[in-house]
Amino acid sequence: MLFPALAVSIASLFPATDALSTDARDQNNVRLVLQITVDGLRRDLLDRYRQRFGQGGFRYLLESGTFFANAHYQHANTETIVGHTTLATGTYPSDHGMIGNVWYDSERGELRYNIEDPKHPLLPTRQNALEGVQVDPAQKLARTKGRSPASILVETFSDRLKAYYGGRSKVFAVSAKDRGAVSMAGHTGKAFWFSTDNGDFVSSTYYYDEYPDWVVDWNKQRQVELLGGQQWQLLNDLPTYLLGHQDDRPYETDLRGYGRVFPHQFAAAGSPILPTQAIVSPYGDRLTLDFAKLLVRSEGLGSDSIPDYLSISFSGLDAVNHFFGPSSLENEDMMLQLDRTLRDLLAFIDETVGLDKTLIVLSADHGMAEMPEYMTELGFPAGRLYPEDIIAAANQIAKERFDIEDIVRFYYRPYLYLDAGKLDSASFEADQVQNEIAAALTVRPGIALALARGELMKPQATQLRLQVQRSFHPERSGDIYVVQDLYWFNFDKGPVAAMHGSPWRYDTHVPIIFAGAGIRSRVVHRLVHPVDVAPTLSAVLGMTAPGSAKGTILGEALGDDD
Ligand SMILES: [Zn+2]
């Protein structure tokens, strides 16, 4: 060695580079970030059933983790893609662009489904394409089965993680719903979702040219077929249920023979409705978990010191809420069964990665409204507002005040879209027409507020108006945002019996629970927001938050005192 002294001195100047980074990782000790999203988990459902949860599921998270009990979305359109993308990016729909499950694409001149991408077709899993029964009204509007995150306008936590660790973090997202997976995987991860056509877990050409062997193997099992002819039965004896007395209500949905009361009968194996019925039961979540377990093992998640990311979004509770309502016996049984699914997930993660090496966060994409008929029975009157009612009312207002015929192009909640040509040719300012229609709609039964796009460009003074503004994106939003009154249903006629999507507390209130690696047990009652989740996850790992994040770091999750 020519310069031994120099080599030594350099080593002493920089001895700690590797050691420091290793120490820092050891301190955090995080090998896996596990983001669990329970679709439609209104926060108070945890309390309604808490005494009856077993050990190791919700109870583990609530008792060992930092539970933010008063977390509310700050946007008005509390829908699935909106909430998931808000959790993923730490910002509002006005920034991340996912303003609704459906919006009007002015370039194509048609309504579009949020993550639809014809450039990235579905990667087929079977030679003979099957066509299942689609009951999701938003999905029905999709022209193709191609999906990608192309329409998400900003960076996600998972994108940030991937960039921070030099591309070495493995990033995956799984859900029964495509939008519950694609949003969380971000632009750089891999997403899998459940096909309601055939019960396989699928992906698109955005993510893969061909399926990994383990996905092919899982799909070969045809697990959904095993449900054929079986029943969803109550987990416990009927008298132990709080809501056992209201199983049979005329305003619940019977999904093609699935029935309104227990036991719910699954269609025969091979039936096109079976995969959808599976999601409207505890078994869709079991399939999601089973697929996720194989993913963790096959891809080696959490197996080295570079933190990996796994998002699991459980879709079953939301589906059950939509068809039977959030205060149904089905909801109660679903929550108890979901508790077991969570217990099994956490036990599996403990076995494979270690809960002490896993940073867990659980939240939800939105809450759920009680059904209007249920509220009316109890003495709180509410009703149903259908698109045709809103369209007729707006057309009538435009005719009476401005002598414009058929001004509405269409309504897809929460937006009315007006005919731009008729607005231009009229002898009035477009703003004036929009504002007058909005003002006249606001005083109608079932409508709490209607706001025109011109108004949404201005500073807003009230909480409600701010919520609407945070849901507004100038290129994607319609002309008039319609907010329904409390407990009013604002959606299409059809099999959906209960809805979310309002700015009211039952739709904005969700749990945020951090648990696992280094997180301590406490309950926090101050008001926090789902936009805080991505910055907080980032802070635990020592990373800067996603580029557009608006949330703040929830210090309590990092062990800060009040
Ligand atoms: Zn949802």
DSSP track, 125-150: SSSS--------HHHHT-SSS-B-ST
The residue type at 46: L
Cα(315) to centroid(ligand 1), Å: 7
The answer to whether the beta carbons of residues 169 and 359 sit under 8 Å apart is: no
Cα(440) to centroid(ligand 1), Å: 31
Cα(214) to centroid(ligand 1), Å: 28
Cα(487) to centroid(ligand 1), Å: 17
Give the pLDDT score at 562: 59
Q: Specify the residue for token string 């998400």.
A: 152
Cα(115) to centroid(ligand 1), Å: 14
Cα(438) to centroid(ligand 1), Å: 28
Cα(40) to centroid(ligand 1), Å: 5
Instruction: Classify residue 25 by its DSSP letter.
Output: H
Cα(507) to centroid(ligand 1), Å: 10
Cα(395) to centroid(ligand 1), Å: 31
Counting Cα atoms < 13 Å in the Cβ hemisphere of 221 gives 14
Counting Cα atoms < 13 Å in the Cβ hemisphere of 177 gives 29
The 415-418 sheet, strands edge to edge:
408-412, 415-418, 480-484, 447-452
Cα(539) to centroid(ligand 1), Å: 27
Cα(318) to centroid(ligand 1), Å: 6
Cis before 511? omega within 30: no
* 3 state DSSP class of 353: coil
Cα(263) to centroid(ligand 1), Å: 25
The answer to whether the beta carbons of residues 193 and 175 sit under 8 Å apart is: yes
Q: How far, in Å, CA of 443 to CA of 417, rounded?
A: 19
Cα(305) to centroid(ligand 1), Å: 33
CA distances, 542 to each of 159, 402, 561 (Å)? 15, 58, 19
Give the pLDDT score at 28: 62
Q: What number of other Cβ atoms are within 10 A of residue 189's Cβ?
A: 25
Which segments of the chain have a pLDDT < 50?
1-26
Cα(79) to centroid(ligand 1), Å: 6
Nearest CA among 163, 179, 160 for reference residue 89: 160
| Pairing relationship of beta strands 489-490 and 231-232 according to DSSP bridges | unpaired
Q: How far, in Å, CA of 549 to CA of 531, rounded?
A: 7
Cα(13) to centroid(ligand 1), Å: 53
Cα(94) to centroid(ligand 1), Å: 18
Give the pLDDT score at 70: 98
Cα(363) to centroid(ligand 1), Å: 11
Cα(65) to centroid(ligand 1), Å: 24
Cα(366) to centroid(ligand 1), Å: 6
| Pairing relationship of beta strands 358-363 and 32-38 according to DSSP bridges | parallel
Cα(139) to centroid(ligand 1), Å: 13
Cα(367) to centroid(ligand 1), Å: 8
Give the pLDDT score at 129: 67
* 3 state DSSP class of 336: helix
What is the value of pTM for the model shown?
0.94
Cα(443) to centroid(ligand 1), Å: 29
Q: Specify the residue for token string 């194996």.
A: 269
- How long a stretch of residues is the chain? 562
Q: Which two tokens stand for residue 81?
A: 């893609």
Cα(37) to centroid(ligand 1), Å: 9
Q: How far, in Å, CA of 58 to CA of 60, rounded?
A: 5
Cross-strand partners of 512: 68
Cα(280) to centroid(ligand 1), Å: 13
Give the pLDDT score at 23: 39
Counting Cα atoms < 13 Å in the Cβ hemisphere of 194 gives 32
Cα(520) to centroid(ligand 1), Å: 29
Q: How far, in Å, CA of 398 to CA of 405, rounded?
A: 7
